């Protein structure tokens, strides 16, 4: 699960790491209201308006704006809110800005030119441990700079050690009087990363102001989906993922559903069979509209919910059910399919390859249902039938 910048701040704050003063707004009016508070609190002559989207590269694409007064706050947040922001990290369509963060300008009043550090903790699956990647030259051009990038591996049993945090501080060229503060900062940061079962905690840029304050300017966090049940606060897919209504429904029913851009709906059990099925559909000239994996232990209700999701997908012109009945019995699948199809006034042809436990009963149930069903025992034949149906449309 990708978290927004404001959520990353919230998490660090809960570990008593200070972040710039900031308030979240979803309308220009609210932005102005919050800006008054930020101006008053910081006593600074400007603030920044930061588009909250789940993608970086905002700085270069107009997603970060400086405002010097309330009129500018109103104008500039109006320019961002409700618009699609296209950055180097979004699709061509961009991402809808639903909220902006009205945030303290942490670059102002800085006489010495500000150094923007890059700092991230992430899981390295090959090394089977967390690593820290950091650099003296962070900021918006990190990808293009030919800078020195350091890596530090963290032993899963020993955790982050003092000699390591010191080494990092030293490599970043921090002054002596800053080192102990920095050690403490990293220790807590790593704690926050671990506590939230994160895959990534990236701070870019991280700056140190003239009062030697360590300031995480931009925070990106990715939490491990498998551990989300431990972090209920961050399981709101509406807020954190760009998923469509069908996918939301699938999450609700705990089904694996992936929306694709073709017109053949696919219901399968097992990821391997799903891949083989889609390959076969493509090979025969079709294009999957989705795939839905009902898993290994589906009951009638689950199949019904699963099938309804496919039937509700407007791009679906025909459906392939390719299920191997092992623990899931074929008759259970047939009953679920009939339950969800029969009350609707539709005529979407279904190609069925149901093999395994209770397949005869399944066939009987489907026959009696009078649905537009074609049986086959071979996947190849199923795919060919699909092509035939698509050509006849
Ligand atoms: P990103 O482009 O999506 O990674 O967004 P960041 O939050 O990292 O901001 C990008 C750039 O905007 C930074 O590198 C800064 O140059 C600038 N920026 C961010 N915060 C501030 C701020 O408080 N004051 C000023 N003046 N500039 C900022
Ligand atoms: Mn950034």
Q: Which of 2, 1, 9 is nearest to 203 (CA)?
A: 9
Ligand 1, closest atom to CA 108?
A: 26
What does the pLDDT average to over 225-231?
92
Whether residue 317 is predicted with pLDDT greater than 80 in this model: the reply is yes
250 and 385 housed in the same domain = yes
Q: Give the CATH number, domain containing residue 197.
A: 3.30.470.20
Distance 59 CA to ligand 1 centre (A): 6
Q: Give residue 199's pLDDT.
A: 98
Give the whole-angstrom CA distance, residue 290 versus residue 257: 7
What does the pLDDT average to over 129-136?
96
Phi and psi, residue 159, nearest 5°: 75, -175
125 and 264 housed in the same domain = no
Q: Is 286 helix (H, G, I), strand (E, B) or coil?
A: coil
Distance 57 CA to ligand 2 centre (A): 7
281 and 302 housed in the same domain = yes
The residue whose CB lies within 8 Å of the most ligand 1 atoms, and thus the one to mutate among 60, 218, 219, is 218
47 and 165 housed in the same domain = no
User: Which of 230, 259, 292 corresponds to the end of one domain?
Assistant: 230
pLDDT band for 111, please (50, 70, 90 cuts). Answer: low
Ligand 1 neighbours, Cβ below 6 Å, are 48, 56-59, 64, 66, 105-107, 116, 139-140, 204-205, 217-218
The residue whose CB lies within 8 Å of the most ligand 1 atoms, and thus the one to mutate among 140, 145, 209, is 140
User: Looking at the domain assignment, is residue 285 inside a domain?
Assistant: yes
The set of residues, in sequence order, having a beta carbon less than 8 Å from that of 58 and lying 6+ positions away, is 50, 51, 64, 85, 87
Residue 124 domain boundaries: 111-230
The ligand placed nearest to the CA atom of residue 110 is 1
Q: H or E segment at 283?
A: helix 271-283
User: Looking at the domain assignment, is residue 8 inside a domain?
Assistant: no
User: Looking at the domain assignment, is residue 238 inside a domain?
Assistant: no
Decide: 294 and 328 in contact? Cβ < 8 Å. Answer: yes
pTM: 0.78
User: Looking at the domain assignment, is residue 236 inside a domain?
Assistant: no
254 and 381 housed in the same domain = yes
Q: Give residue 328's pLDDT.
A: 87
Decide: 200 and 121 in contact? Cβ < 8 Å. Answer: yes
Q: Which of 230, 184, 205, 208 is nearest to 15 (CA)?
A: 184
Termini Cα distance of the chain: 40
- Active site positions, annotated: 118, 202
The set of residues, in sequence order, having a beta carbon less than 8 Å from that of 268 and lying 6+ positions away, is 274, 277, 291, 292, 293, 294, 321, 322, 323
User: Looking at the domain assignment, is residue 1 inside a domain?
Assistant: no
Whether residue 259 is predicted with pLDDT greater than 70 in this model: the reply is yes
In the chain, what percentage of residues exceed pLDDT 90? 71
72 and 155 housed in the same domain = no
User: Looking at the domain assignment, is residue 284 inside a domain?
Assistant: yes
Distance 51 CA to ligand 1 centre (A): 11
Q: H or E segment at 330?
A: helix 330-341
Please name the residue whose Cα sits nearest to atom 8 of ligand 1: 218
Distance 145 CA to ligand 2 centre (A): 15
């Amino acid at each position: 699960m990708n978290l927004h910048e404001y959520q990353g701040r919230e998490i660090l704050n809960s570990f008593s790491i200070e972040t710039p003063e900031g308030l979240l707004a979803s309308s220009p009016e609210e932005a102005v209201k919050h800006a008054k508070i930020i101006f008053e609190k910081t006593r600074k002559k400007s603030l920044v308006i930061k588009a909250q989207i789940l993608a970086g590269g905002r700085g270069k694409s107009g997603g970060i704006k400086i405002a010097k007064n309330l009129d500018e706050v109103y104008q500039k947040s109006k320019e961002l809110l409700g618009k699609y922001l296209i950055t180097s990290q979004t699709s061509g369509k961009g991402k809808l800005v639903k909220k902006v963060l009205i945030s303290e300008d942490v670059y102002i009043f800085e006489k010495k030119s500000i150094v923007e550090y890059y700092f991230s903790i992430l899981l390295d699956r090959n090394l089977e441990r967390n690593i820290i990647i950091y650099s003296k030259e962070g900021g918006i051009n990190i990808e293009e700079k030919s800078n020195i990038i350091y890596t530090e591996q963290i032993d899963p049993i020993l955790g982050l050690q003092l000699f390591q945090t010191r080494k990092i501080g030293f490599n970043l060229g921090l002054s002596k009087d800053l080192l102990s503060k920095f050690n403490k900062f990293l220790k807590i940061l790593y704690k926050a990363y671990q506590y939230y079962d994160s895959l990534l905690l990236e701070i870019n840029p991280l700056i140190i102001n003239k009062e030697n304050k360590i300031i995480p300017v931009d925070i990106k966090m990715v939490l491990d989906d498998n551990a989300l049940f431990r972090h209920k606060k961050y399981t709101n897919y509406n807020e954190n993922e760009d998923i469509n209504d069908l996918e939301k429904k699938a999450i609700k029913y705990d089904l694996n559903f992936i929306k694709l851009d073709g017109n053949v709906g696919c219901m399968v059990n097992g990821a391997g069979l799903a891949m083989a099925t889609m390959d076969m559909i493509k090979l025969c000239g079709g294009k999957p509209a989705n795939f839905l994996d009902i898993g290994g232990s589906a009951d009638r209700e689950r199949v019904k919910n699963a099938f309804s999701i496919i039937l509700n997908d407007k791009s679906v012109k025909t459906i392939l059910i390719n299920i191997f009945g092992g623990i899931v019995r074929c008759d259970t699948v047939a009953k679920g399919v009939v339950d969800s199809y029969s009350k609707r006034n539709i005529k979407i042809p279904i190609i069925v390859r149901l093999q395994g436990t209770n397949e005869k009963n399944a066939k009987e149930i489907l026959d009696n249902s009078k649905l537009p069903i074609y049986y086959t025992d071979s996947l190849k034949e199923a795919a060919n039938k699909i092509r035939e149906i698509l050509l006849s449309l």
